[in-house]
Structure 1
Amino acid sequence: MTGRTQLIPGHWRRPLAALVLLHAVILIAYWHSAWGMAMIWARSDTYAHGFVVPIISLWLVWRQRAVLAPMVPRPGRLAWLLMAGAAALWLAGDLVAVNAATQLALVTLIVLSVPAVCGWRVARALAFPLGFLFFAVPIGDFLLPRLMEWTADFTVMALRASGIPVYREGLQFIVPSGAWSVVEACSGIRYLIASVTVGCLFAYLSYQGTRKRMVFMVVAILVPLVANWVRAYLIVMLGHLSGNTIATGVDHLVYGWLFFGIVIGVMFLIGARWVDPAPSASQAMVPAGRVEGSIPKGTPWLALVLAFSVVLAPHGLLAAMDLGTQAKPVQLVAPVVAAPWHATAMPPSHWLPAFEHASDTLDMGLTDGQNQPLGLHVSYYRQQDYQRKLVSSESVLVKSQDPVWARVASGSVNARLQGRPLRVASAVLRQHAPGTVADAQRLLAWRFYWVRGTFTASDYAGKIQGALGRISGWGDDGAHIVIYTPLSDAKESEIDASARLQSYLDSQGDALVAALEQTRGRD
């Protein structure tokens, strides 16, 4: 009917249909990545906001409909190259089963499909709604160790400034009223991600100037960090002053969220004082009927065919690639123990690293010529996927909430294996025990990977070597190796214990390598 504004302008119908179809193909082709992302939203309070991010982005796009209506969508050529890069990122991430890479690549493909079909001018008009979609990607866990360290630093400093004596080992500390530890929930990552996500949306909707938006975003980052430090200090103080009757159980979390909610609420109330007026309707609207030009009918569909080629290319490469992955079950071969070392009936400790979903594991104990004990743990991986993978952030020496063991120090040291230098990850572990800290068993552990026939302690190098192994046909076999030795007492020098671990590598390194190679090639 004449005189009635069309919901979708005629020149937008074909490009919009092509864009919707392309999004559907992307989600179907990369369903595993999309489903994995949704499962993280469902099980993690930190990333639960991911469910509403796409809805908010669609609403933000709808708000721009008056600006978009007169634009004529024209495919952007450079978008194909960028989409190819995102597809390559997904392929690389899938080869090494890195969720963050594949999920980031998926969202990037969805975002780039807009300029690929509708052009860069349309994409610029939708820059924030499209960019906001990246908040749906559950990335941020890499910040946990640093945030936990900062929380522990501030809490201990504030307690000592309050006149309370504190004994600290790593993320564990003891005050006269009891022992406390900084775990993942104390890191403040939930508060930080929530504040940045909501703060970014608030700044976009409330301010027109870039400077105001950037200042508010800096505040949105700093406030939750400092608020979390103060929260941790207040919780310990409440527990200490109440004789551990409050702020130690469920109310620990309640007080945390209540305090955070108040602080963030105050932050937004203050930010609201400088809100800019929204553009008037006359500024936003373009006279009806003024369309910039026309576009050939077949252009959106040609752009769609090109996009399909880019989107589906990684799956074709995976299907054609000879990954060389063995399907036979793993039977780990125990290294042959040569003199002066001797195998023992039991490992020197009941501790086991928290490595998950290994294809097979090996635990054995040894002693050297002076009857000094040492333990060897090997977790072997084959046919790796997103659940069973050699390099994973969830595979750690000790879980932060382990009721028996705690990691009290960590770092890296220079070692040697088969005459070649090897940088290994080092950690001191302490057992929770009644009595004084000195009564608890302590272990010095060295950790490193064996992948594609080489050794490394670097997660990044391990991932790269794993991808190269699959591409080259070597296979995806790999092993997580830990050697450890008890510290005879709390005062024993780690240098002496390190020398014992290095002595094992010098004497038994060849046998360890031979056992791994035999496991890989065993029929």
Structure 2
Amino acid sequence: MSSSAIAAPDAAPPAAAGWRAPLLALGFVAFAILALFFRDVADMVSIWWNASTFGHCLFVPLLIGWLVQQRLPGLRQLQPVAWAPGLLWLGAGALVWLLGAAAGVALFRHGALVLMLQGATIALLGPAVARALLFPLFYAFFMVPFGEELVPPLQLLTARIAMLLLDLTGVPAHLEGIFITTPTGYFEVAEACSGAKFLIAMAAYGVLVCNVCFRRWSRRILFLAGALGLSILANGVRAYATILVAHLTTVDAAVGFDHVVYGWVFFAIIMIVVMAVAWPFFDRKPGDPWFDPRALQGRAAASPISSVTAGALALVIAAPLWLAATAATARPLPPVLALPAVHGWSRTDAPQAYPWKPRFDGADHVVSGRYRNADGQLVDLAIATYARQAEGRELVGFAQGAADPDSQWVWSSPAPAPADGLGEQITAPGPVVRHVVTVYAVGDGALTGSKPAVKLATLKARLLGRDQRAVAILISAEQRDGQDADAAIAAFRADLGAMRLLADRAIGIR
């Protein structure tokens, strides 16, 4: 036997020998992305750690590492190459970050970090390796905290499922928004009871199972749809069971039942049920290859790795530089913000049934006051203004607006509102019901009650260096015996005059 034949087993495979330089370049670019956008990285990790809804995100990086480890035998047979077209994906991520930062949308900024890291992987390791790592790269999106916007509709859906089951079992109950009243007590389907935490975690788990346990797309779709549907239905059953326990025993017993069942047992039971039903239909066998290296190894034109690395760094640096340049164009607000005089209404110190104050973190000015007319109608007016918006000082966003999550006020349902306003019903202990109509404006743009429209207007202003001054006007009234909140708000708004004029004066346009 020749000496070359003896040495062969110890030699590195030809494809594996070319991994060092691409991996070093990828590590350098990834470090630059994480360092440059460290504030967003820290924000994501803080959400994972502090928000129970996104606690499962802590495991996603570990799962991605496991998914890559499973694919190592095939990856060693591939030859990575620097591939300039991959910079398009990285550039798309930088653009999404710029749009998210300009609009004040954390979801976009967090998602953009994943896009940029994916783009760096594609550009510096090439299309063959990217195709081999397609699912781990996709699964990285589950590191992004998303789904908070599902909470209000899931609250309403959970309340309706619970109400339907109460009717079917003969328990007398009344539903108003997310509140259910029975002879035993008054129950709120709170944010924590909406099932959003369960649904989002089930989505992450279900997608992982789809890849690991199934090969056919038809089975994957059926499994995921069934798992998500069951999680929504099961959460409604849990809410119903809590109210039923309270009806049969005491409210205190129901609260203890809910915490024990939901916190420790409920999710595990549903996971076991889902897996038990799906087990006979798993069609991926242990040891099945994740991909065919021979089919993936194409002939993509290699680009100089130094040029691709430099291009990647230039793209990720350009986005924050652009935003910094446009921030310098912000115009000042009037030094004082005063409440308007309204014909037919006078300021009053009459106490509120339950203290209410809207929340606008980082606002430059916030004023509020109570008005009464000759008919005895009472209305609260609040105005908040911003010279410019940035992270932590946004006109619309989590915790901003009529219902401060740190107070006893909670959102309960939509409420009537004019075409240019947002109507909300909020509730405090008592219960005290309050209707709020909110109108927003950014610069000299149109009045709106749409939060997405506010984000879009903010995006345009910050991205193009336009007038970034912004205002929120809230008109609110309590629902009381002898006073309809909506009628009081409508009367006040009619006497207030043009909302456009009030908004412009608040931010100094007129």
> What TM-score results when the alignment is normalised by the length of structure 1?
0.86
The alignment covers a number of residue pairs equal to: 499
Maintained 8 Å contact 2:416/2:486: no
Once the two structures are superposed, residues 122-163 of structure 1 have per-residue CA deviations (whole angstroms, 9 ceiling, x without a partner) of 211111111111111001111111111110000011111111
Partner of 1:114: 121
Q: CA separation of 1:370/1:208 partners in 2, compared to 1, >3 Å: closer, same or farther? A: closer
* 1:254 maps onto 2:260 in alignment: yes
Cα deviation for residue 20 of structure 1 reads 1.6
Structure 2: how far apart are the matches of 1:283 and 1:176? 57
Q: CA separation of 1:262/1:409 partners in 2, compared to 1, >3 Å: closer, same or farther? A: closer
Structure 2: how far apart are the matches of 1:128 and 1:137? 16
Q: Which moved more, 1:363-372 or 1:17-26?
A: 363-372
Structure 1: how far apart are the matches of 2:328 and 2:341? 34
Partner of 2:389: 384
Structure 1: how far apart are the matches of 2:312 and 2:157? 45
Partner of 2:248: 241
Partner of 2:469: 477
* 1:276 maps onto 2:273 in alignment: no
Partner of 1:423: 420
Cα deviation for residue 109 of structure 1 reads 0.9
Which amino acid in structure 1 is aligned with residue 493 of structure 2? Q
User: What secondary structure is seen at the aligned counterpart in 2 of 1:321?
Assistant: helix
Cα deviation for residue 484 of structure 1 reads 1.7
Cα deviation for residue 473 of structure 1 reads 3.9
Cα deviation for residue 10 of structure 1 reads 1.1
Cα root mean square deviation, aligned: 3.0
Structure 1: how far apart are the matches of 2:292 and 2:11? 13
Which amino acid in structure 2 is aligned with residue 423 of structure 1? D
Maintained 8 Å contact 2:415/2:435: no
Partner of 2:3: none
User: Among 209, 212, 234, which residue is 1:205 paired with?
Assistant: 212
* 1:464 maps onto 2:451 in alignment: no
Partner of 1:343: 347
Structure 2: how far apart are the matches of 1:512 and 1:465? 19
Maintained 8 Å contact 2:385/2:507: no
* 1:360 maps onto 2:350 in alignment: no
Cα deviation for residue 408 of structure 1 reads 4.4
Cα deviation for residue 80 of structure 1 reads 2.0
Structure 1: how far apart are the matches of 2:288 and 2:369? 75
User: What secondary structure is seen at the aligned counterpart in 2 of 1:245?
Assistant: helix
Structure 2: how far apart are the matches of 1:320 and 1:432? 47
Cα deviation for residue 45 of structure 1 reads 1.4
User: What secondary structure is seen at the aligned counterpart in 1 of 2:503?
Assistant: helix
Once the two structures are superposed, residues 172-207 of structure 1 have per-residue CA deviations (whole angstroms, 9 ceiling, x without a partner) of 111111110001111111111221212221221122
Structure 1: how far apart are the matches of 2:463 and 2:59? 38
Structure 2: how far apart are the matches of 1:453 and 1:284? 55
Cα deviation for residue 493 of structure 1 reads 4.9
Cα deviation for residue 293 of structure 1 reads 7.8
Cα deviation for residue 483 of structure 1 reads 0.8
Which amino acid in structure 1 is aligned with residue 503 of structure 2? V
* 1:18 maps onto 2:25 in alignment: yes
Q: Which moved more, 1:207-216 or 1:495-504?
A: 495-504
Structure 1: how far apart are the matches of 2:103 and 2:468? 9
User: What secondary structure is seen at the aligned counterpart in 1 of 2:441?
Assistant: strand
Maintained 8 Å contact 1:334/1:515: no
Partner of 1:436: none
Q: 1:297-312 counterparts in 2 under 5 A? A: 299-312=304-317
Q: CA separation of 1:270/1:485 partners in 2, compared to 1, >3 Å: closer, same or farther? A: closer
Cα deviation for residue 450 of structure 1 reads 2.6
Q: 1:148-187 counterparts in 2 under 5 A? A: 148-187=155-194
Maintained 8 Å contact 2:381/2:473: yes
Partner of 2:377: 372
Q: CA separation of 1:175/1:482 partners in 2, compared to 1, >3 Å: closer, same or farther? A: same
Once the two structures are superposed, residues 241-285 of structure 1 have per-residue CA deviations (whole angstroms, 9 ceiling, x without a partner) of 112231314x42221131221121121133223333537589978
User: What secondary structure is seen at the aligned counterpart in 1 of 2:87?
Assistant: helix
Q: CA separation of 1:112/1:224 partners in 2, compared to 1, >3 Å: closer, same or farther? A: same
Partner of 2:495: 504
Which amino acid in structure 1 is aligned with residue 506 of structure 2? L
Cα deviation for residue 376 of structure 1 reads 0.7
User: What secondary structure is seen at the aligned counterpart in 2 of 1:389?
Assistant: coil
User: What secondary structure is seen at the aligned counterpart in 2 of 1:314?
Assistant: helix
Which amino acid in structure 2 is aligned with residue 303 of structure 1? V
Structure 2: how far apart are the matches of 1:28 and 1:339? 56
Partner of 1:517: 507
User: What secondary structure is seen at the aligned counterpart in 2 of 1:445?
Assistant: strand
Partner of 2:337: 333
Q: CA separation of 1:189/1:517 partners in 2, compared to 1, >3 Å: closer, same or farther? A: closer
Q: CA separation of 1:98/1:511 partners in 2, compared to 1, >3 Å: closer, same or farther? A: closer
User: What secondary structure is seen at the aligned counterpart in 2 of 1:392?
Assistant: coil
Which amino acid in structure 1 is aligned with residue 381 of structure 2? L
Structure 2: how far apart are the matches of 1:345 and 1:202? 60
Partner of 1:90: 97
Structure 2: how far apart are the matches of 1:22 and 1:347? 59
Maintained 8 Å contact 2:370/2:379: yes
Structure 2: how far apart are the matches of 1:46 and 1:408? 20
Structure 1: how far apart are the matches of 2:179 and 2:291? 56
Structure 1: how far apart are the matches of 2:410 and 2:287? 59
User: What secondary structure is seen at the aligned counterpart in 2 of 1:246?
Assistant: helix
Which amino acid in structure 1 is aligned with residue 160 of structure 2? D
Structure 2: how far apart are the matches of 1:294 and 1:3? 29
Maintained 8 Å contact 1:323/1:470: no
Maintained 8 Å contact 1:72/1:295: no
Maintained 8 Å contact 1:359/1:382: yes
Q: CA separation of 1:176/1:413 partners in 2, compared to 1, >3 Å: closer, same or farther? A: same
Q: CA separation of 1:61/1:354 partners in 2, compared to 1, >3 Å: closer, same or farther? A: same
Cα deviation for residue 164 of structure 1 reads 1.0
User: What secondary structure is seen at the aligned counterpart in 1 of 2:440?
Assistant: strand
Partner of 2:322: 317
- Structure 1 residue runs of 5 or longer lacking an equivalent are 415-421, 434-439
Q: CA separation of 1:343/1:472 partners in 2, compared to 1, >3 Å: closer, same or farther? A: farther
Structure 1: how far apart are the matches of 2:207 and 2:434? 45
Which amino acid in structure 1 is aligned with residue 61 of structure 2? P
Cα deviation for residue 120 of structure 1 reads 1.8
Maintained 8 Å contact 1:171/1:408: yes
Which amino acid in structure 1 is aligned with residue 150 of structure 2? L
Structure 2: how far apart are the matches of 1:282 and 1:243? 56
